[in-house]
Chain A
Amino acid sequence: SQQGEEDPQALSIQEGENATMNCSYKTSINNLQWYRQNSGRGLVHLILIRSNEREKHSGRLRVTLDTSKKSSSLLITASRAADTASYFCATDDAGNQFYFGTGTSLTVIP
């Protein structure tokens, strides 16, 4: 399977704390993208980082990419209860196939 893996599978933090989740993948990629999914809903695109980029910021989100280790991390700073959701990384490989990681379920406690 070309599916990536994320850790932790579940993360529970207090509001205001930072949340970090990691994604590892197996193939060469063009880019890696992070998505958020609220329970039973569709996916919302958060951020895209290309294979030649190492770090990217968007608001309270910070994404890093290490292509030598085939890994990425998503940091959410100053978390809010509304950030509670599942977060998925997805890799876009050179063949334009798109594969999702296993996901991290984040719970932010008010």
Chain B
Amino acid sequence: GAVVSQHPSWVICKSGTSVKIECRSLDFQATTMFWYRQFPKQSLMLMATSNEGSKATYEQGVEKDKFLINHASLTLSTLTVTSAHPEDSSFYICSARDLRLQETQYFGPGTRLLVL
């Protein structure tokens, strides 16, 4: 199946710093990528949808200036958590799909962020 990678797999940072998370589709071109966050023992909450070459669409309640998303190429999307605070600590998961080929979203392994 299609493979999606995320980097880093975990990160610890100080409050106030910015953290960038990369999501790559390794063996297919992702016309659309999605970013989710997941709190312990809870479901995935969609944060934003990004289409290659255009601005991301954010879900209600998600601050676009706080969570910067860039989908500059068909294989890479980045999520930058700006001025991170402890409440931003979470598990961030990306997924990618190629609508030209299939309906399934393929998920990355996730990035665990801990803000001290």
> Which A residues are closer than 8 A to B by beta carbons?
3, 30-31, 33, 35, 40-45, 48, 88, 90, 92, 96-103, 105
Q: A40-B91, A96-B32 are in contact. Are A33 and B46 (CB under 8 A)?
A: no
B105 at the interface (CB under 8 A from A): yes
Given contacts A40-B91, A40-B112, A43-B93, contact A98 B105 (CB under 8 A): yes
Contact of B108 among A33, A42, A100, A103 (CB under 8 A): A42
Q: Are B32 and A100 in contact (CB under 8 A)?
A: no
Chain A residues, CB < 8 A from B106: 45
Using CB atoms, name the residue of chain B closest to A4.
B43
The number of residues on chain B lying at the interface, defined by a beta carbon within 8 Å of a beta carbon of chain A, is: 25
The answer to whether A43 and B49 touch across the interface, beta carbons within 8 angstroms, is no
6 tightest Cβ-Cβ pairs between the two chains A and B: A42-B109, A43-B107, A100-B44, A100-B43, A42-B107, A42-B110
Within 8 A of A (CB), among B71-107: 91, 93, 95, 99, 103-107
**Nearest residue in A to B10 (C-beta to C-beta)?**
A40
* Interface secondary structure of B, over-half rule: strand
Task: Give the CA-CA distance A102 to B38 in the complex, in Å.
Answer: 11
- Once the chains are docked, how many angstroms separate the CA of A75 from the CA of B56? 36
B34 within 8 A of partner (CB): yes
Interface residues of B in 13-59 (CB under 8 A from A): 32, 34, 36, 41-46, 49
| B104: A residues at CB distance < 8 A | 33, 45, 48
Chain B residues contacting A101 (CB-CB under 8 Å) are 43
Query: Which chain A residues lie closer than 8 Å to B41 at the CB level?
Result: 105
Q: Which residues of A contact B109 (CB under 8 A)?
A: 41-42
Question: Closest CB of chain B to A36's CB: distance in Å?
Answer: 11
